[in-house]
Amino acid sequence: MKITEALFAGSSTRVTERPKQSFPEFAFIGRSNVGKSSLINMLCGNRKLAMTSSKPGKTKLVNHFLINRKWYLVDLPGYGYAKMSESGRRQIQQVIRNYLNLSPDLILLFVLMDSRHDVAKADIEFLNELGESNIPFAIIFTKADKQGPNVLRAQVEKNKLQILEFWEELPPVFISSSETGAGREEILDYIGTVLDNLNSQETKQ
Ligand code: GTP
Ligand code: MG
């Protein structure tokens, strides 16, 4: 899958404000500062598409990016940012919940986790919520450039085992770096396969 065009299609806080044109959506979520917006930029080959920041809590809205005029990448706010005020956190939670529960075109959610750290309690709780709402997801371990290959591999293996304590099977797992472009092809090819399956299901119906 190649991205030939990526256009900002709008920001929203509730699904009623989403872009009018409906296309399959692939959304990115994870703890604040994990690298969601940077990864979207890396996949699209445009560092200025989604706003990023070294300070957590940058993305506060649901941002749609129209890809190749056929599908959306969706940048979501982060969860689990401890330093945010209680009301700010509740608001963000509401934006995330509204999107996850009510988006008719959400096909798959990429849940991002920092490849340097153990899986956080907030991540496990979030995955469990996804299970309850039957939302298909894949996992991406981000910031792979921040440590050497052996340490990276060991931490990712450890994290997979931590997830398997709560889940019978692992979802698709990717490793990415927005700095080096690692994981780009794998993630885009995976999206391409999911879209192909979707199209062939539609033609069968
Ligand atoms: P919120 O919108 O606040 O939830 O954060 P986010 O998950 O969108 O993170 P964002 O993409 O804004 O990145 C947070 C910080 O991490 C920024 O300073 C990025 O430059 C940095 N960063 C993101 N991805 C990578 C990566 O793969 N490698 C390195 N070295 N830094 C990264
Ligand atoms: Mg962001």
25-30 vs 71-75, strand pairing mode: parallel
Query: How many helical (H) and strand (E) elements, i.e. helices and strands, does the chain have?
Result: 5, 7
54 lines ligand 1 (CB under 6 A): yes
31 lines ligand 1 (CB under 6 A): no
| Token couple for 43 | 């996949």
Which ligand 1 atom is nearest residue 60's CA?
Answer: 2
pLDDT at 124: 95
Distance, C-alpha 23 to centroid of its chain: 17
The pick from 49, 52, 179 for probing ligand 1's pocket by mutation, whose C-beta has the most ligand atoms within 8 angstroms, reads 52
Is the Cβ–Cβ distance between 131 and 171 less than 8 Å? no
3-state secondary structure of 158: helix
pLDDT at 202: 80
Within 8 A by CB and 6+ apart from 185, the residues are none
36 lines ligand 1 (CB under 6 A): yes
Task: Give the count of beta carbons closer than 10 Å to the beta carbon of residue 179.
Answer: 13
Report phi then psi at 113, rounded to 5: -135, 145
DSSP category for residue 120: P
The per-residue pLDDT string of the chain (205 residues; one tens digit each, 9 = 90 and over) reads 999 999 999 999 988 899 999 999 999 999 999 999 999 999 999 999 999 999 888 888 999 999 999 999 999 999 877 777 888 888 999 999 999 999 999 999 999 999 999 999 999 999 999 999 899 999 999 999 999 999 999 999 999 999 999 999 999 999 999 999 999 999 999 999 999 999 888 887 6
pTM score > 0.85 for this model?
yes
pLDDT at 84: 78
Cα–Cα distance measured from residue 100 to residue 179, given in angstroms and rounded to the nearest whole number? 29
